[in-house]
Structure 1
Amino acid sequence: MCGIIGYIGNRSAIPILVSGLMRLEYRGYDSAGLALSVRGSLKVHKAAGKLFRLKSILPKRSGGKIGIGHTRWATHGAPTDINAHPHLSADGKTAVVHNGIVENAAELRSLLEDEGVEFVSETDTELLAHLIARETDASLEQRVGKALALVQGTYGIAVIHCDESDRIVVARHGSPIIIGVGDREMLVASDIAALVRYTQQVVHLDDGEIATLDAKGFRTMTMDAQPIPKSPSTVSWQDDAYERGEYAHYMRKEIFEQPAAIARTLSGRIEDRFHTAHLGGLNLEASDLRDIKRVKLLGCGSAFYAGVAGAHFIESLARIPASAEPAAEFRYRNPVIERDTLHVAISQSGETLDTLMAIQEVRRSGGPVLGIVNVVGSSIAREAEGGIYMHAGPEVSVASTKAYTCSLVALVLLALHLGRMRDLSIERGSNLIEALKRLPDDIESALATEDSLRDLAQRHARCSSAFYIGRGTGFAVALEGAQKLKEISYIHAEAYPSSELKHGPLALVGPELPTFMVMPHGAMLEKSIVSLEEVKARKGPVIALTHPGDARIARRADSVIEIPHTDDLLAPVVMAIPLQLFAYHCALALGRDIDQPRNLAKSVTVE
């Protein structure tokens, strides 16, 4: 959600800024712009809509070697040319790009208007430019620090000034800012994706920090100018990981990358000797983990649905009470936080603001926190005491696929680790480990169902609504399946436990409402078959997602998608694949913007 890119060095800034903006498109945006410092003045170019509109108005040549760029996702003010970033101070000398929200914007706007400032846009960001310009007799970084002292809310900002064209000043509070260290050039971005084409050396700012970049290096400090030494770390992701290659969409590419991604999540983490998981990054002693009395899993969207399945994994293997909760709701209900409760934050980006603020609330109260994230060095990874990196690789499509399944695998590993510290038997641990080793092959088999799912999508893409139902971990699969269909095809979809059909949803079942039934074999299969009969009795079309071998399902369901038998706890991982493919092909049949669905952003860094 929103993106920042900045460059200072000896090369022309425009190609680098545009390249960075292209890498940030996946985050979701509705306008874009950039500002260049050229021969003592600032040149600003911006346009509502997709990036090609901005590219069409950029000059063919420019002497600017310092600049900042932005992709905006509208909050304050509609997506228009005027409201697009960067924003200028009244004298035209200060340019600002900003991710986040100024919560006291109305108050500050009134203050500035009383001082005679005339606003051009409807945005909260413009007032930052005026606040910085309002300060005098100080360096740019000092002016930025004084201005931000008045601001309540979240921000990641980059600032340039035409009279100090040897620097970019950046600051962070709640919204990511990453410095890229190059060879006699420096970059800054809100996302590593915009940097890896030019450098693998990065520095993450923490909340309450400010930095000054020039072509030779960077300085980091507190808001009141106290130095904070920081050293670069190396990013493992390469630029070609962000290319689509032979695939028409990033989403399809990432669906088909799942066998390799899951193999990376498992790599080095299976302990055959003791039939457990080796999780060295937890940073908690075995005695601390044995003292855990309950586990709470926090996430938003697909990460929350992974947590629903994860709670089942932990209770089944470790026999510890576990529950999942939307992170955005958690901190606002005055939660009871106990030292013997382990909180686990799940986030692909590691920057999801609601989840980050939830775990900050836990840490403030002294509770232990682990993170399950994909991006090394991200805010949640740094805030948590330890955790598990998914190693899914870059995920560009807004709809999460490989990060979702990799988070499920990470949660199985955590549950196995906790279980073997307690009373989980060697036999059960050994069987699960063998199933984990087969999991990439099982995913390959699930991917082979694509042709059947393409045909199903062609038949059902014009439906106005759909049900997804399941029991046990099948319900978690149903939640994620409905989410995928909604977010990329715009077809209304709801997920329910199968047991809830008679308590309301059955009133909607009829010939026009397809029901996707998640039916793994196991203890709940018989009850799932009863639910199938209930839907069929109301003439509802049923698509059954199940394992081979039950003639009753094949006889009664309208369509059957079969995936390989696997361990009961791993069925949610394998069963997620056909639901991803079904949503993808529905969206394709309807001509949707699959990788950048309307109104959505990849990394939600505002509340």
Structure 2
Amino acid sequence: MCGIVGYIGRRDVAPLLLEGLQRLEYRGYDSAGVVITGKTGDLRVVKAKGRVRELQARVPKRFAGTTGIAHTRWATHGKPSDLNAHPHLDNDEKVAVVHNGIIDNASELRARLVAEGAELVSETDTEVLAHLIARSAAETLEQKVRDALRSVEGTYGLAVLHRDFPDRIVVARNGSPVVLGIGEKEMFVASDVAALVAHTRQVVTLEDGEMATLKADDFRTYTTEGSRTSATPTTVEWEAESYDMGGHDTYMHKEICEQAEAVDRVLRGRIDDRFATVRLDGLNLDAREARGVRRIKILGCGTSYHAGQIGAQLIEELARIPSDAEPASEFRYRNAVVDPDTLYLAVSQSGETYDVLAAVQELKRKGARVLGVVNVVGSAIARESDGGMYVHAGPEVCVVSTKCFTNTVVAFALLALHLGRVRDLSVADGRRIIAGLRKLPEQIEQVLKTEPDIKRLATHFADARSMLFVGRVRGYPVAREAALKLKEVSYVHAEAYPASELKHGPLALVEPAMPTVAIVPDDDLLEKNRAAMEEIKARSGRILAVAHQEQEKADHTIVVPKNEDELDPILMGIPLQLFAYHTALALGRDIDKPRNLAKSVTVE
């Protein structure tokens, strides 16, 4: 959510900032703004409700400068408007601030500032920061920002310009990502490397409680208390081309079509044929410690939570370790019992999801062992965890997750196989699962070739105002994720239920106007699933089945290739990603930027 871009150097800053904002559009936003330090040192601001293109249209032709910061806002305090858009300035227009996060005590600070004579013009929590910095009597900008932050409770990733200090940008982080980009006699700052990789791949990621000063030819990092910190730049593995659309009409379609290659990438170099297992050195968990695990708890939000549900089933089936998944947003508030024999897995595409990160921090405080399952190298959850796995899906730009979901489930299959072979899974079963994993990329390509048929089905069902998704055991998390995808991208209401629960309430909804999508794998529950479809047909319900063979009771069947029973959920979810995509396309939705949603949820 929200995006920050900043630059200081020799180049004309406005085009760089606008380009950076465009690369961050996938994060979700409702307004945008830019501020530059003009040639006379004054701060020049342009803001606009709506897309970056609206902002770009307002930027005057003469808007020259070599230092500036910019922002895309996702409304929390105050409705989307020009006035509430960032950057925010103090009354004398000396200080400009862009901010991601939430200031929890903003109301208290606002009342204090008004009592002192400040005139706040927006509804945002961020504006108080500009006034606090401006009112500090400190001699340096760094100390002014530090003074302001001492009054603040909440989360922030922020960047600050000051008219009296035109040679620098000061940034700070607490709970919201801030990444520095190191160039040749130029420096960048952003909330996401996507805004940086077109110009530099050398980055420094700030830790919570850390600040930085950027000048054109140098940078330094330090704590909010003023102590210097050491920062060694790392190289980002993704290139600018990874963020291009690659000839596709949308990022969502591109990312769905990249899944065969992405799965091959997560498998590459990890399979150990000699011992019928996999190598996962990043877990930092030796065989003795792995055998000592008595329970596994998987924490994620949204799509990551659904991937965790499939992961829990894989671990129970292959490693015989009791496992379950729970929304991190619920876990962190329910005062859960933290068992020293439980291994906790934190799942996040961005590695910055606030609810997951907060759960990790609470678990670490209580002495738990936490492993991260993330896509972004060097992200906050990766750094805070004791070890983990990168899922190597590559950049995912569309707000709705597709290839990262698939790669996360494959990563869980690798973990389940690893834990199973450490424990009681036979060599024969290990080889069986490895063979199944190796077949996945080719089978994904087979599924993708059925897109024209799926498009016709999506167009056929696009008039439905609501849909029901059902599955049993392995199929239920697939149903949940498929229902979420349809809701996210097409705005069609969808609910997912275990097929076994139909007669306990949801059957009341079944009628011709409410179609059902049934997940029907060829496993030991095939006849049970067919019985559920009988119940739906008896009530005149329309059925779209996703199965390994044509289903007589379904009105339409999407046939997917058969893999090992444990791995079937990986393949069965992919056609339903395409179904959601083409439903949204038929309804004219903004596919890459669904309303009200953001890619990386870094606030509560």
Q: TM range, normalised to the smaller chain?
A: over 0.9
How much has 1:149 moved relative to structure 2? 1.0
Partner of 1:601: 598
CA distance in 2, matches of 1:62, 1:471: 60
Partner of 1:235: 236
Partner of 1:512: 513
Matches within 5 A, 1:74-153: 74-153=75-154
Check conservation: 2:530, 2:553, Cα contact below 8 A: no
Matches within 5 A, 1:192-341: 192-341=193-342
**1:403-452: CA deviations, max 9, x gaps?**
00000000000111111010001100000001101110011111112111
Check conservation: 2:14, 2:64, Cα contact below 8 A: no
Partner of 1:587: 584
Matches within 5 A, 1:13-92: 13-38=13-38, 39-92=40-93
Amino acid of the structure 2 residue aligned with 1:20: G
CA distance in 2, matches of 1:40, 1:454: 56
Check conservation: 2:210, 2:222, Cα contact below 8 A: yes
1:565 to 562, 571, 575: 562
Amino acid of the structure 1 residue aligned with 2:33: G
CA distance in 2, matches of 1:103, 1:524: 50
CA distance in 2, matches of 1:522, 1:314: 18
Matches within 5 A, 1:386-465: 386-465=387-466
Amino acid of the structure 1 residue aligned with 2:569: P
CA distance in 1, matches of 2:62, 2:223: 38
CA distance in 2, matches of 1:194, 1:213: 17
1:574 to 571, 577, 592: 571
SS in 1 for 2:228: coil
Identical residues among aligned pairs (%): 58
CA distance in 1, matches of 2:388, 2:369: 11
Check conservation: 2:37, 2:163, Cα contact below 8 A: yes
Amino acid of the structure 2 residue aligned with 1:248: D
Amino acid of the structure 2 residue aligned with 1:135: S
2:551 to 550, 554, 577: 554
1:369 aligns with 2:366: no
SS in 1 for 2:155: strand
Give the alignment's Cα RMSD to 1 decimal: 0.7
SS in 1 for 2:484: helix
SS in 1 for 2:552: helix
Check conservation: 2:89, 2:95, Cα contact below 8 A: yes
Amino acid of the structure 1 residue aligned with 2:555: D
Amino acid of the structure 2 residue aligned with 1:599: N
How much has 1:217 moved relative to structure 2? 1.6
Number of positions where the alignment pairs a residue of Structure 1 with one of Structure 2: 603
CA distance in 2, matches of 1:555, 1:221: 66
CA distance in 2, matches of 1:512, 1:163: 65
Amino acid of the structure 1 residue aligned with 2:17: L
Amino acid of the structure 2 residue aligned with 1:255: I
Amino acid of the structure 2 residue aligned with 1:214: K
| Length-normalised TM-score, structure 2 | 0.99
SS in 1 for 2:220: strand
How much has 1:138 moved relative to structure 2? 2.1
**1:326-353: CA deviations, max 9, x gaps?**
0001010001112211110111100100
CA distance in 2, matches of 1:64, 1:147: 27
Runs of 4+ aligned structure 1 residues displaced above 2 Å come to: none
How much has 1:63 moved relative to structure 2? 2.8
Partner of 1:12: 12
How much has 1:556 moved relative to structure 2? 1.7
How much has 1:137 moved relative to structure 2? 3.1
**1:64-92: CA deviations, max 9, x gaps?**
10000000000000100000000001110
Amino acid of the structure 1 residue aligned with 2:564: D
Check conservation: 2:263, 2:407, Cα contact below 8 A: yes
Check conservation: 2:480, 2:497, Cα contact below 8 A: yes
**1:160-212: CA deviations, max 9, x gaps?**
10110100000000000000000000000000000000000000000000100
How much has 1:275 moved relative to structure 2? 0.5
SS in 1 for 2:203: strand
| Length-normalised TM-score, structure 1 | 0.99
How much has 1:283 moved relative to structure 2? 1.2
